[in-house]
Amino acid sequence: MRFEWLTGLFDFSRKDRNGILILLVVILILLVLRISLPFLIPIREVNTSKWNVEVDQFLKSQEVKISDTIRIIPFDPNSVDSLTLVRAGVPVRVVGYWLNYRRKGGVFRDMAGVRRIYGLTPMVFQKLQGLLVFEKPAAPQVKFKPILGVRVQTDSLKQYKVSVDRYVPKSKPALGSLELNGADSISLIRIPGIGSILASRIIRYRKMLGGFYAVDQLRDVYGLRPTNYETLSPYLTIDQSTVVNFNLNFSTFQELCHHPYVGYKLAKKIIRLRNQKGKFSYVTDLSSLIGADSLDRLKPYLRFSD
């Protein structure tokens, strides 16, 4: 009684038994054919030695043609294009890092700077050592009109006017001072050291902050190098009355996260502390969450009452 269900599994009708028998015969025939086919049909061996020799000769001829056609001449790493780098044996991924470093304002001054490119292997760097030439711009030779009554051509002064401005130090700014919180991109581009990309970054960062309260905050703008800051800072002034602050007691989590001086982690702590102890009344209420230096930087943007 206990194993009746098991014996029922093997209770086949006559039609089922015939089907199973036919299936077993077919499987047996296939197995016999699989084993006997290699003996019934001999494998024909093909001699490919002549073909291999022709392929090797063709590949060698192509290598000679490529080496004769593409000749890499020495290049400046600060002005080389992507095609030349690829031909010199630099991997495509490393070429992207190379050009991206230059787009961000980076300059290669020596071999050590090139060696620090991410992903550049010692083998590839060894190939590049004989191809890299670091060109330094020479100061233009400017001809000035003599005091004596000798006529000279002054076209060279016009030709090198822009270049001379780079080398002649300025004791005073040629432009008037520019108020940073009210300046648009066109006004910022007129300041030495600020291009169109940097101007857009300054305006975007100013909007996220709510305005600048000190020129020194420009150091936090992405892509602004210390040398550029020293050049442009004498041209700028700040009107602190235009700074937009926010009410810390009513700001949402998303609003706090988007402020550059708060961020996700600090915003989360501020919301948790506000829910536990209620509204903030003084700046010192945040001293348990943030360091003194960071709190002083954030303080001009805080408001606790309407």
Strand pairing category for 246-247 and 302-303: parallel
Kindly write down the DSSP assignment for every residue of 16-66, as one continuous string: HHHHHHHHHHHHHHHHHHHHHHHHHSPPPP---HHHHHHHHHHHHHHHHHH
Classify residue 32 by its DSSP letter.
H
Q: Please classify residue 80 by burial: count the beta carbons closer than 10 Å to its beta carbon, then call 0-12 exposed, 13-18 middle and 19+ buried.
A: buried
Predicted pLDDT at 24: 92
Tell me what pLDDT residue 85 has: 86
Domain endpoint, select from 94, 128, 162: 128
* Domain end position, chosen among 128, 143, 164: 128
Distance CA 43, CA 271 (A): 79
E strand intervals along 172-292: 178-179, 236-237, 246-247
- Domain assignment present for residue 87? The answer is yes
| pLDDT tens over the chain, length 306 residues | 555 555 666 666 788 888 889 999 999 999 988 888 777 777 666 677 777 787 777 776 665 444 444 566 788 888 888 888 888 888 988 888 888 888 888 888 888 888 888 888 888 888 888 888 887 654 445 444 444 444 444 444 444 444 434 444 444 444 568 899 998 988 888 888 888 899 999 999 999 999 999 999 999 998 888 888 888 888 899 998 889 988 888 888 888 888 999 888 888 889 988 888 888 888 888 888 888 888 888 889 998 876
C-alpha distance from residue 22 to each of 28, 33, 281 (Å)? 10, 17, 92
Longest dimension (CA), the chain: 134
Q: Domain with 266 in it: what CATH number? A: 1.10.150
Report strand pairing: 246-247 vs 178-179: unpaired
Classified as helix, coil or strand, 302 is strand
Of 128, 163, 194, the domain-final residue:
128
Task: Judge whether 77 lies within some domain.
Answer: no
Give a yes or no: residue 92 inside a domain: yes
Alpha carbons within 13 angstroms on the beta-carbon side of residue 163 total 11
Residue 303's DSSP bridge partners are 247
* pLDDT recorded at residue 41: 76
Positive or negative: CA dihedral 76, 78, 81, 83: positive
CA-CA distances (angstroms) from residue 15 to 6, 12, 26, 29?
21, 8, 17, 22
Q: What is the pLDDT of residue 2?
A: 58
The residue type found at 97 is: Y
- Tally of domains within the chain: 2
pLDDT for position 165: 45
> Would residue 252 count as lying in a domain?
yes
Look at residue 159 in the predicted model and tell me its pLDDT. 47
- HSE on the CB side for 301, CA within 13 Å? 21
Cα distance between residue 145 and residue 84, in whole Å: 44
The tally of CA atoms less than 13 A away on the side-chain side of residue 14 is 0
| Position 204 in a domain | no
Residue 40 confidence (pLDDT)? 76
Q: State the residue range of the domain holding 120.
A: 82-128
